[in-house]
Every structure is written in C-alpha cells, then in structure tokens.
Structure 1
Amino acid sequence: MHPYAIINFHELTPAALCDVIVNKFHQPIERTAEEVMAWFNLERQDDPTAPATTDLQQLLFAKMQTEIIQLMRKETSIIFPVIRNASIHKKGRKSLQPAAYDSIQQSFQKIMLLLQKIRQVTGNYLLQGYWSSAYKICISDMYTIEQLLQQWLYIAQNILYPAVLPANTIVIRQDEILNTVSID
C-alpha cells in the first residue's frame, strides 16, 4: 500500500480540481460509455442470453450518455476555463456565477435520475449466471460508470463549485436531487 495513493481533494486548488475531474472522471466515463454502447449497438442482437429489458437499458443509457457528454463539454469548454482563468489572474476564490452553476446542477440532476432508472431496469446490476460474458461486462461497465459519476458529482458539489461560487449561493445537496427532477 502506498501512503500517497489517496488524493485529498480538499487540498487541491479549483484549477487543479478541474484537471482531476477531466482526467479521473470525464475521460474514463466517456471511454467506458462508448464500450457499453458498442455492446448495445453491435452485439446485443446476437446475444440470446440478454434479458428483454436490454432495449429499455439501451434507451436510458443512450439518453444518459448524451447528458453526460453535454455536461462534460459545458464543464471543459465554458466552466473550467473561467475557473482556471480566475485562479491565474488571482481574481479571488469566487469566480463562477450562480446561473452557470444552476445549469451544471440541472445536468447532474438529469444524469442522476437516469442512473436511478438504469439501476432499476438492470436489477441493481446483479449479474445472472446464464448471461453471456459480453453482457456481464456491459452491466459491470454500467456499474463502473455509476460509481465514477457519483464520485465526480460528490467532488463537484462538495469541493469544486462551493470553492468558486459567490458567498450565499444555494447549493443543492445530492440527496435532494432525486426528489426534484424529471427526465421528461
């Protein structure tokens, strides 16, 4: 065990957190989501072991992937440059407008609701012995994406955005998200 293997995200600057989010969350989520969609698009029709719910899984996952990609683009092309620029020019710690944060928050809410629905239609990612190896990997990859998304959301909600928002900005907690949003 390496004593320095654990990252204390609270010690990182907002600019460094932006880099960590891109490298530790955006990139692995994007790669893994592409692998999941490859199974749905290329192998699902030829897999007699896949359950009847795979059509719904594919629909929900594709919708979530679209939301994730839009959120990543919003963060990397709009939000993170503002945060990095503020830290370079020492404009102070608070550099993000609440309206920009609200947009990010709405995206996270949609993604978390879609994750909840995916969890329901996959039976909480519980693998069945008769499924093909490829489908088991697909379900495992969906679970991995959920774990990465939850870590990303936690770091963004609890560390990054509070550090760059003006004082007195209302920040919605993760447990409030699932009760306030519809994907419709």
Structure 2
Amino acid sequence: MHPYAIINFHELTPAALCDVITSKFHQPIEHTAEEIMAWFNLERQDDPSAPATADLQQLLFAKMQTEFTQLLRKETSIIFPVIRNAAIHNKGQKSLQPAVYDSIQQSFQKIILLLQKLRQVTGNYLLQGHWSAAYKICISDMYSLEQLLQQWIYVEQNILYPAVLPANTIVIRQEEIINTVSID
C-alpha cells in the first residue's frame, strides 16, 4: 500500500482494522508523545522562552500520556488479539463484551477532556515568536498528537467497536457525556 493512500476504514474487517490502527495510530501516537516528553524532561528547565504554563502543560500531558498508553497496551495485548481470534474462530459473531467497551469509553473521555485542557493552557497551540525553536516544535507536536488521538478515537468509536460489539449494545457518544467525566 502506498504510504499516502487513503484508507477507507469502513471497508476493512475488524481484524484488519486492528492491524491498521496499530500501525497508523498506536505507533505514531507513542512516538510523538515520547518526543514531547523528551522536551519537557530534557530541555524545559533550560528554556527561558517557555511560558509559565509549561509546567501545567507537562502535568496535563503526562496524565494524558499515562491514560492513552494504558489503553494502547490493553488494546495491543488483550483486546485486539480477542478480535483477531474471533475473526478466525467465530465467523460473523460479535467478539467483545459491552463492559470492555465501557472501560474503553471511559478512557476515551478522559483523554478528550485532557486534550481540551491542554488546548486551553497552550493557547490553542498558537506559536509565539519569542519561543525557542525546540519549544515551538514541542507545541507543534502536541497539536499533531491531538489530531492523531482524535482520529484514533473516532475510528475506534465509530467503526471498530460497533463492528465487534453485540447487537443492541448502547454506545454513548462523547458529546453526550463530555461534561460528566472527571480527569481524576
């Protein structure tokens, strides 16, 4: 497949979606997050151009990174193998229990809430001329990561999980609960 080919996620089987999600979302999300944390951990203290909110950004980002890293690990080690196995052995049967999806949904909601808070404390990722090049790259990477996370969540909420959940499972949309979730 050409690296810039458009993927129609709706055409993929759940097992194939797991593979695409791992390569197109999981790996880039982890890599970008590592780059961002490297700036916070290695360069932040020596960068006088970074705003005072950088410490809060680091705290929120670290909390969000913990949340999505746990979910990525759960998907990679538990959920995706179940989906792939069901595709092989239970042709056409739904493979995921609603309680599993509820847990995933809670993680998605926390990630979305943290993204909103990060967007607030970064001033919507608008770059300032007096910032260092390294901090500008960090902020740009945060914006790129937000886009990846939103795409990942969208594909899973709207395509993957509905395809593997039993019929009549109630799927709550993020807009319906966005104000009821706490990041604690």
Q: Quickly name the TM-score band, shorter chain normalised.
A: over 0.9
Superposed CA offset, 1:37-93 (max 9, x none): 000000011111000000000000000000011000111111111100000113424
| Secondary structure of 1:179 counterpart | helix
1:133 aligns with 2:133: yes
Superposed CA offset, 1:3-36 (max 9, x none): x821100000000110111100010010110010
Q: Equivalents in 2 of 1:177, 1:87: separation in Å? A: 31
Counterpart of 1:85?
85
Mapping for residues 95-174 of structure 1, pairs under 5 Å? 95-174=95-174
Q: Equivalents in 2 of 1:171, 1:12: separation in Å? A: 21
Q: Equivalents in 2 of 1:109, 1:142: separation in Å? A: 18
| Secondary structure of 2:179 counterpart | coil
| Secondary structure of 1:125 counterpart | coil
Name which of structure 1's ranges 149-158 and 84-93 shifts more when overlaid on structure 2: 84-93
Task: Give 1:177 deviation, angstroms.
Answer: 4.0
Q: Equivalents in 1 of 2:152, 2:105: separation in Å? A: 12
| Secondary structure of 1:168 counterpart | coil
In structure 2, what residue type is equivalent to 1:44? R
Q: Equivalents in 1 of 2:8, 2:177: separation in Å? A: 25
Q: Equivalents in 2 of 1:93, 1:19: separation in Å? A: 19
Task: Give 1:114 deviation, angstroms.
Answer: 0.6
**TM-score, with normalisation over the residues of structure 1?**
0.96
Counterpart of 1:176?
176
Q: Any conservation in 2 of the 1:112–1:177 contact (CA below 8 Å)?
A: no
In structure 2, what residue type is equivalent to 1:43? E
Q: Equivalents in 2 of 1:147, 1:113: separation in Å? A: 14
Q: Which runs of 4+ in 1 moved over 6 A?
A: none
Counterpart of 1:44?
44
Q: Equivalents in 1 of 2:152, 2:118: separation in Å? A: 18
Task: Give 1:127 deviation, angstroms.
Answer: 0.5
Q: Equivalents in 2 of 1:90, 1:7: separation in Å? A: 26
| Secondary structure of 2:180 counterpart | coil
**TM-score, with normalisation over the residues of structure 2?**
0.96
Task: Give 1:137 deviation, angstroms.
Answer: 0.3
1:32 aligns with 2:32: yes
Q: Report the count of equivalent residues.
A: 182
Sort the Cα spacing of 1:182 and 1:68 in 2 relative to 1 into closer, same or farther, 3 A. Answer: same
Identity rate of aligned residues, in percent?
87
The RMSD of aligned alpha carbons is 1.2
Task: Give 1:147 deviation, angstroms.
Answer: 0.2
